[in-house]
Amino acid sequence: MERLSEIISKKIISLEEGICLGYILAPCLDFQIMSIYGVLVCDETEERIKFLDYKNILVLGEYVTVKNSNMLSFGENLISNSPIGKEIVSVNGLSLGVINDIYLQNKKIVKLITNKAEINPKNISIWEGNYLIFSEKKIKKSKTYKFQRLDKEIIQKVEILKNNKEISEKINNNLLPFKANISTQNLIGKIAICDVFGFNNELIIHKNEVITKKIISAAKKHNKLNFLLINSQ
């Protein structure tokens, strides 16, 4: 099983020419068949956006390998339709969180991970727009929807407020985690444990990079502050 967040920013190497052809900028997804069919590639040499068909990828490891540079085609007019950074909203107005990652298996989209829950993509009825719509009716039928364990931020907040009866009841009843206030001062100087990307897959911070005020400001702008908090040490 592959994570989309781990695919983005990987360098693409040509085995016949022994050169770097660029790096993966964003995915191209087909929501009709719930599959990834290609990726947009940033060609730093020519300063152009190119397209790589997923079937032309030979190996997807620390580097992405392809046969040669002919595997890349013109992609300036293509647009990434990645839902990462979009919020999932239920038909009754409940926020199910912002998508942090997507799990793929044999090119198929099998799981969406938000900052609040694990979502079966089959339960999403509308993929267009700034918000993805989750159908409550499909929950009852498939019974595939479930909340994940609380993230680090929520656990820390609960520890501080563990004597608060109202919070304890919410946690015991498996309701959605409450929104916690983040102290940005505590983030400064910490290390990111993964790459963090913005709404349009702009790189906010590299893995192992030190978090600064400028990075925190960018994370706020792209609604990635929670994600940055969770993925820092």
Please provide residue 66's backbone torsions phi and psi, each rounded to the nearest 5 degrees: -130, 165
CA distance 3 to 196: 13
Query: Domain boundaries in the chain?
Result: 2-74, 87-142, 184-230
Q: Residue 148 pLDDT > 50, yes or no? A: no
Contact between 96 and 89 under an 8 Å Cβ cutoff? The reply is yes
Q: How much of the chain exceeds pLDDT 70, in percent? A: 76
- pLDDT recorded at residue 220: 78
DSSP labels for 123-164? GEEE-SSSEEEEPHHHHHHH---BPPPP-HHHHHHHHHTTT-
Average pLDDT over residues 203-229: 84
Asked whether the domain spanning 87-142 has the same topology as the one spanning 2-74, the reply is yes
Q: Which CATH number fits domain 184-230: 3.90.105, 1.10.10, 3.30.43, 3.30.70?
A: 3.90.105
Average pLDDT over residues 26-54: 87
Mean pLDDT score across all residues of the chain: 78
- At 137, the pLDDT band (50, 70, 90 cuts) reads low
Q: Which of the two residues, 36 and 144, has the higher pLDDT score?
A: 36
Q: Residue 218 pLDDT > 90, yes or no? A: no
CATH topology of domain 87-142: SH3 type barrels. (2.30.30)
Question: pLDDT of 157-205, one tens digit each?
Answer: 445 444 444 444 443 443 333 333 446 777 888 899 888 887 666 789 9
- pLDDT recorded at residue 141: 35
Residues 6+ apart with CB under 8 A from 23: 9, 10, 11, 12, 41, 42, 44
- Which of 72-86, 90-104, 129-143, 183-197 is modeled with the greatest confidence? 90-104
Contact between 89 and 95 under an 8 Å Cβ cutoff? The reply is yes
Instruction: Return the C-alpha torsion angle 202, 204, 207, 208, nearest 10.
Output: 160
CA distance 52 to 72: 5
Name which of 92, 74, 68 is nearest 15 in CA terms: 68
In total, the chain counts a number of residues equal to: 233
Q: Residue 66 pLDDT > 90, yes or no? A: yes
Q: Which CATH number fits domain 2-74: 3.30.930.10, 2.30.30.240, 3.10.129.10, 2.120.10.70?
A: 2.30.30.240
| pTM of the predicted protein model | 0.56
Q: How much of the chain exceeds pLDDT 90, in percent? A: 35
Query: If you search the block for the tokens 């090119």, which residue do you land on?
Result: 107
Residues 6+ apart with CB under 8 A from 202: 222
Q: Residue 103 pLDDT > 60, yes or no? A: yes
